[in-house]
Structure 1
């Protein structure tokens, strides 16, 4: 089935080699397509949405949610297409034909998703990471892209963040909108590191599963940073990814708290602190140290 490809305005952005797409004031990677698909499909009451700003812990949470909703079937998880990834523009027939419960993931701002996502019936999971570590991870990721290569330095990225011109930004409006949705479980990336047992148990309860201590231990082990690193080669060699990333991409780089101290000077740190203080409505005390 053929579908019309939507046209986007394209703008130059400081520090980027090929610029970005823009729609309704939102800066988007060049791989985002057909936003009408993500906006207009019909939801089911048992749909589950996993949303996040990029480099906030999406893959980690993705694996946890899939395993919890599929009886901890780790062997199957290694070959299964776990989630419907909305950002590239999934044709409506593929979304409609997917078996329930459908698991969706996205970085798209709320305005590009179906209005019915605001229903109490739909379960939403939103992942938040402290913005300083998130920006360091973003910087390294941007540098290894092919079609969206970032040629600027870290100061350029901080300036773009402050201006709301990073992918899917502004970051603060992304976080503000999703954390206000009803029936939303908010995961702090740092809690997955420091309080994994408690966080995973609560996530299981949200998804209707009363996980035992041994099951939680299993989930922690099979979604560990070491385990995710083992899948990195397969990720990079996937035919869908070889033309998107440079061969020296490190997708799972450190997975720790506090690496930002190796990149930020005092002025950069203050810029991000000011964004959190003045623009973020979501009330949180970010954890910046391990």
Structure 2
């Protein structure tokens, strides 16, 4: 599946049910909302650039690494783990790709805030894994992603982007509302495993153990070791089936899709003044939640 890059224009941001979105993620809204989930579906939910592909590769390897090893070397990650809400002209939508999947379980990803998730996932009591990344590293990663991805709005310069991020004027809206919304849902819906990018970076093996426990699967130690090796950042960055280099909408000459995968890279981007201002906004927006993040490990 290739994406016809030249025909695409950078989209405009607009308000959609109170969330900043672009048409690429709202054009198939009705189809997505009516998506028929199955009880064994697994959803990976994240704010954009928070470790989605990392966890997608982990799950795909845990379930299919042994039974279908050719899958990882011949099918790109965006087909193995469809992006539910995406719709780009002349290619199958994420929802259509998910509907056609024959593998069990279907592993599906979304960047939707929790209130946009199709109701059938809750009705079927599906398991959802939410990955959260600290706001400072998340905004840096998102900025570089928007620079190189033609289906994202023009990012402008770093200071203006940082400001818009804090105002929720980026695709998928406010980071603060996103991470808090999913955290609150976890308190009432038992089948959410809420995990942190920083924990995954610090101790990948331990986080994989937690995922296996949540999913009630028992891979052998050998299988887990294989997953850990395959999902190392440098390995994934070189892997054409995981690094998005086969997709036509991203310009790797501007920035690679997998850039650094580090915790604390924000220190290379924020000025002292920007950091102080960001902390001030952060304290206000995160005052009413028990959710806590680490900005370094």
Q: TM-score range by the shorter chain?
A: 0.7 to 0.9
Deviations 1:137-157 (A, max 9, x none): 111111112243535221111
1:268 — aligned with what?
274
1:13 — aligned with what?
none
The 2-side partners of 1:224 and 1:120 are apart by 33
Question: Contact conserved, 2:130 with 2:182, CA < 8 A, in 1?
Answer: yes
Shift of 1:22: 3.2
The 2-side partners of 1:91 and 1:54 are apart by 16
The 1-side partners of 2:157 and 2:294 are apart by 25
Within the candidate set 208, 211, 234, 2:219 is matched to 211
Question: Contact conserved, 2:236 with 2:242, CA < 8 A, in 1?
Answer: no
Question: Contact conserved, 1:110 with 1:177, CA < 8 A, in 2?
Answer: yes
Asked if 1:245 is matched to 2:253, the reply is: no
The 2-side partners of 1:149 and 1:23 are apart by 15
The 2-side partners of 1:93 and 1:131 are apart by 32
Task: Give 1:159-170 correspondences, 5 Å limit.
Answer: 159-170=163-174
In structure 2, list runs of 5 or more residues that go unmatched.
1-9, 88-92
Task: Give 1:49-64 correspondences, 5 Å limit.
Answer: 49-64=43-58
CA gap 1:120/1:275 in 2 versus in 1, 3 angstroms: farther
Shift of 1:93: 5.8
The 2-side partners of 1:185 and 1:199 are apart by 11
CA gap 1:226/1:91 in 2 versus in 1, 3 angstroms: closer
Corresponding residue pairs, total = 271
In structure 1, list runs of 5 or more residues that go unmatched.
1-16
The 1-side partners of 2:257 and 2:100 are apart by 31
CA gap 1:74/1:122 in 2 versus in 1, 3 angstroms: same
Shift of 1:250: 0.7
Within the candidate set 279, 287, 291, 1:284 is matched to 291
1:3 — aligned with what?
none
The 2-side partners of 1:187 and 1:264 are apart by 25
Question: Under a length normalisation based on structure 2, what TM-score does the superposition of the two structures give?
Answer: 0.82
The 2-side partners of 1:185 and 1:233 are apart by 26
Q: Helix, strand or coil: the match of 1:31?
A: helix
1:4 — aligned with what?
none
Question: Contact conserved, 2:20 with 2:172, CA < 8 A, in 1?
Answer: yes
The 1-side partners of 2:105 and 2:242 are apart by 26
Asked if 1:193 is matched to 2:186, the reply is: no
CA gap 1:93/1:107 in 2 versus in 1, 3 angstroms: closer
The 2-side partners of 1:265 and 1:82 are apart by 39
The 2-side partners of 1:163 and 1:98 are apart by 37
